[in-house]
């Protein structure tokens, strides 16, 4: 495994664009006002992106120390072809630091169980949604206590049971916290 390293300016710019796409305040909340530094690591299938507390940056500036460290901090996700694929822990941190502009949905307790079992959730179980939403909208999924359950996509389908073909929405899980429970069993 390759060692952690400071991202190049080009890598940093791509990561920043991805963060800005999620929320315009995310970069500042993590790196300017926040306590994180950005590190990356080459892998065969992309670039792992890590958030590391600023307290450790001086230690990691020493190349001999950095070469001996193969992982550390919070792995927020993987950058593949200029697109950031969030991990569960990364989604949790982005949800916490993304501010009010981050696209979030809040779901009912019944829907929480469905979502954690990686099942689609009917839109009537969504108790709060972004003002503007539509087909293929990427959202952070929270329970009513504000805890991040994962990420999902709002999908649109036609209700074929009626003659007027009304549009119906549902929430499809992409990544959810129940994954760890399903994989452990």
Across the range 142-156, mean pLDDT stands at: 95
CATH number for the domain running over 104-184 = 2.30.130.10
Residue with tokens 């390293």: 5
Q: What is the pLDDT of residues 29-78, one digit of tens each?
A: 999 988 899 999 999 999 999 999 998 888 877 877 777 776 778 999 99
Domain ranges for the chain: 9-97, 104-184
Task: Quickly name the fold that domain 9-97 has.
Answer: Nuclear Transport Factor 2; Chain: A, (3.10.450)
Question: Do 104-184 and 9-97 have the same topology in CATH?
Answer: no
**Please, which residues have CB within 8 angstroms of residue 161's CB and are 6 or more apart in sequence?**
none
Q: What is the pLDDT of residues 10-32, one digit of tens each?
A: 999 999 999 999 999 999 999 99
pTM for this one? Answer: 0.85
Q: Which helix (H) or strand (E) segment is 181 a member of?
A: helix 178-184
Q: Is the pLDDT of residue 83 over 80?
A: yes
- Return the closest-CA partner of residue 94 out of 163, 34, 21, 26: 26
- Return the closest-CA partner of residue 169 out of 149, 144, 139, 142: 139
Backbone angles phi, psi at 28, to 5 degrees: -65, -45
Q: Which two tokens stand for residue 146?
A: 């504000």
Burial of 176 (0-12, 13-18, 19+ CB in 10 A): buried
Q: Is the pLDDT of residue 7 over 80?
A: yes
Decide if 27 contacts 16 (C-beta within 8 A).
yes
> ∠180-183-185 over CA atoms, to 5°?
110
Across the range 144-173, mean pLDDT stands at: 84
**What does the alpha-carbon distance between residue 25 and residue 17 come to, in Å, rounded to a whole number?**
12
The region of weakest confidence among 3-7, 30-34, 86-90 is 3-7
Confidence of residue 136 (pLDDT cuts 50, 70, 90): confident
């Amino acid at each position: 495994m390759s060692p952690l390293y400071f991202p190049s300016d080009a890598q940093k710019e791509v990561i920043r664009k991805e963060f800005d796409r999620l929320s315009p305040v995310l970069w500042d909340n993590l790196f300017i006002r926040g306590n994180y530094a950005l590190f990356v690591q080459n892998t065969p299938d992309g670039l792992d992106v890590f958030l590391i507390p600023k307290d450790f940056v001086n230690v990691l500036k020493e190349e001999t120390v950095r070469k001996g460290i193969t992982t550390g901090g919070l792995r927020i996700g993987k950058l593949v072809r200029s697109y950031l694929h969030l991990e569960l822990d990364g989604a949790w941190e982005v949800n916490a630091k993304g501010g009010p502009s981050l696209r979030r949905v809040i779901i009912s307790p019944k829907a929480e169980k469905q979502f954690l079992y990686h099942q689609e959730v009917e839109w009537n179980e969504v108790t709060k949604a972004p003002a503007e939403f539509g087909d293929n909208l990427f959202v952070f999924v929270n329970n009513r206590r504000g805890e991040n359950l994962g990420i999902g996509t709002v999908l649109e389908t036609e209700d074929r049971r009626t003659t007027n073909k009304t549009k119906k929405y549902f929430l499809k899980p992409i990544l959810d916290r129940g994954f760890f429970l399903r994989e452990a069993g």
